[in-house]
Amino acid sequence: MTTTETAKQVEIAAQAIRQQTIYRPTVGLVLGSGLSELANSIQDPDIISYDRIPGWPQSTVVGHSGRLVIGTLEGKTVLVQQGRAHYYEGYDMDQITLPVRVMRTLGIQVLIVTNAAGGINADFSPGDLMLITDHINFLGMAGQNPLRGPNDETVGPRFPDMIGTYDPGLRKLAHETAAANNFTLQEGTYAYVAGPSFETPAELRFLRTVGADAVGMSTVPTVVVARHAGMQILGISSITNKAVPDPEPGTVLDHEEVLETGKQIIPRLTSLLRGILQQL
């Protein structure tokens, strides 16, 4: 798609949302599977199903719902994107990043993204939460960067700086919030791969060697677009499984396990997100 076409699609989607809510959100939250309780505790929400927003990509994955929940949470006006589309579902980068472009158009400046990831760092255990401090965009490095194509100078620069993408101030706030709730957060580099097949042992050895602490199939295209637009970004990974080249004999990794461990993390992740919102 050309920049003009993308911009037109973004404006149409943003307009459709404006017509379905009176709220003017300032914080965007992208929630992976299982965090519906948090979305459900938004006061007086306007709920917009994705099929009521032209061009909005629908998630086809089990455990991912498809709606925006807009309203007040911990005193902030938030827009929650509940469920996301992934590259492996067949969407292209323009489609995957439409939601964040729309958020920016709606005036959202702070973006909090959550995801599920495999833990590559040997110090990580399933059930840990990891603050993303940096990422490796394998698809982007291979040409599938969502900013490929003509640049819209009204949004951001042709060559955006990616240093400091994951906002140090927000990370500090996250650590303080976790400490106040009596838990700690891991930190690390998130490697973005296309999926949907999980990694082979050789791929995991490679990822470990190049400095990845966790691996997952989402988030990074959204973050690149948000960074380009100058948004403040916080990324949190739920470590749902070990992603190591030499697992215990008989270990099989499946999506069920990812969902199940993800569920156990939810109370901590929920109090973390609430605490951060309170202090924004």
Residues forming contacts to ligand HPA in the complex (CB under 6 A) are 116-118, 198-199, 215-217, 240-241, 243, 258
Q: Residue 103 catalytic?
A: no
Minimal distance, residue 216 CB to ligand HPA, in Å: 4
- Among the options 16, 74, 151, 255, which is catalytic? 255
Minimal distance, residue 84 CB to ligand HPA, in Å: 13
Q: Residue 137 catalytic?
A: no
Q: Residue 141 catalytic?
A: no
- For residues 78 and 227, what is the distance between their CA atoms, to the nearest angstrom? 19
- For residues 238 and 32, what is the distance between their CA atoms, to the nearest angstrom? 10
- Among the options 36, 65, 74, 88, which is catalytic? 88
Minimal distance, residue 253 CB to ligand HPA, in Å: 6
Q: Which CB sits closer to ligand HPA, 115 or 232?
A: 115
Minimal distance, residue 135 CB to ligand HPA, in Å: 13
Q: Residue 88 catalytic?
A: yes
Q: Which CB sits closer to ligand HPA, 118 or 188?
A: 118
Minimal distance, residue 181 CB to ligand HPA, in Å: 24
Residue nearest to ligand HPA (CB): 118
Q: Residue 192 catalytic?
A: no
Q: Residue 86 catalytic?
A: yes
Q: Which CB sits closer to ligand HPA, 55 or 195?
A: 195
- Among the options 13, 89, 121, 226, which is catalytic? 89
- Among the options 50, 137, 241, 243, which is catalytic? 241
Q: Residue 166 catalytic?
A: no
- For residues 233 and 55, what is the distance between their CA atoms, to the nearest angstrom? 24
Q: Residue 16 catalytic?
A: no
- Among the options 14, 93, 116, 212, which is catalytic? 116
* Residue numbers annotated as active site: 33, 64, 86, 88-89, 116, 217-218, 241, 255
